Amino acid sequence: MARLPGIDAPEQVVCHVDMDCFYAACERLRDPTLDGEPLVVGMGYETGETHGAVATASYEAREYGVESAMSITEALERLPRRGEGDTDMDGSNGVYRSVDMDFYKAVSEDVRSVLSRAAETVRNVSIDEAYLDLGDLEWSEVTAFGRSLKREIEADAGVVASVGIAPDMTTAKLASDADKPDGLVVVEPDDVRSFLAPIPIDELHGVGPVTASNLRELGFETAGDIAAAEESVLVDAFGKRGRDLYAQARGEDDRTVEPKGDPKSVSSESAFVEAIEDAARKRERIEALAADASERATAKNALYRTIGIKVVEPPFDVHTRSQSLSGPVDDPELVERTAVELLTEFEADRVRKLGVRLSNLSFDDREQATIAEWGTDGENGREGDPRWTRTSGRQARLSRFE
């Protein structure tokens, strides 16, 4: 595999996953009638509110000039809010929704579950963005991997991702931006420079309006212009940032994909092809998910204090239940028993998806590995034992899976 001149970094296949208009996509998942509508997610448009900003604007809303981080006042001037009962057949008014972070985090957990199955090393950088190290995957296999990953994200989480795959993190991120929405762009090592060359300077990482204006004053319009220049010109004008820009424009990025700290939870989820009511099938699936989640925790050398399940009913009503212990354990049989017990509340319900999550993780003490070492006063160490607590509360819409 060819490497770019001057790059000593180990060969990599890096995948960047970016969820398209994520908050808007989540709102459409919850309310499919919003598909195709100019949709704005933000705060400050509610009655009595005078300040706020746009968090996400759908592509339809962007056609009216509404953008992320824009003041809600300006957004409403460009795209007036549709009133209650207003069908607005010509689409000239927009639909506004308030930010619901618990909802979006729960959908993000679904995405992260897919990513953790797809690659051993995942770096989650935000609620809607992540890098994957694809290890020894051959470049001839990369496109098929990307398509499969996109299908799994849409099937399991209900939202669409754009994916970029390249030999370095910077180029992978630019690749995921190159064909939005719902894009897949693969940049092989020998094609990095030709891929980067036409990219406008204001699309490079860290280039805002002021820097872009300064670069244009120096005659730079594209990444290719920067790559063809002398590095000293960029350094003289921008200092260390100039050196970073020069390297970025040439695809010279020796960073490796590394996770950000220890994981906060370990989960395993699975959707049924169609919603089911069969209690035996639901139990069989939750047992398999419990075993998989336990195996994942053991592989990460993690103990857990909280065992939870996630139940998704049509169309996308999500309920969570959890049970916590005062001390960390590593006990797959306990995970299975607890998950099955928590599931009994939904025995007669139609279910389209199930999940098991282990949280409140500890990586410090592997000796306290089973529930027996914490002592038991009630049946299975749970009922009647003050060290156990059950978290409940049925929720009508998506809530944080914890």
Residues 6+ apart with CB under 8 A from 294: 330, 331, 332, 335, 336, 358
- Tell me which residue of 102, 105, 127, 132 sits closest to 116, measured CA to CA: 132
Catalytic residue IDs: 129
CA–CA–CA angle 51, 54, 55 (5° rounding): 125
Neighbours of 244 (CB within 10 A): 19
Instruction: Tell me if 264 sits within 8 A of 306, measured CB to CB.
Output: no
Q: What is the pLDDT along the chain (402 residues), one digit of tens a residue?
A: 333 444 444 578 999 999 999 999 999 999 999 999 999 999 877 666 657 899 999 999 999 999 988 998 899 999 998 875 455 545 568 999 999 998 999 899 889 989 988 887 899 999 999 999 998 788 999 999 999 999 999 988 999 999 999 999 999 999 999 999 999 999 999 999 999 999 999 999 888 889 999 999 999 999 999 999 999 999 999 998 899 999 999 998 888 888 876 677 888 888 888 899 999 999 999 999 999 999 888 888 889 999 999 898 887 777 889 999 878 999 999 999 999 999 999 999 999 889 899 988 888 654 444 444 444 333 333 433 433 444 443 332 233 233
Domain 265-391 in CATH 3.30.1490.100? The answer is yes
Rounded Cα distance, 256 and 134, in Å: 11
Displacement of CA 386 from its chain's centroid (Å): 36
For domain 197-249, give the fold: DNA polymerase; domain 1 (1.10.150)
Give domain 22-99's CATH number out of 3.10.20.310, 3.40.1170.60, 3.40.710.10, 3.40.30.10. Answer: 3.40.1170.60
Domains of the chain by residue range: 22-99, 197-249, 265-391
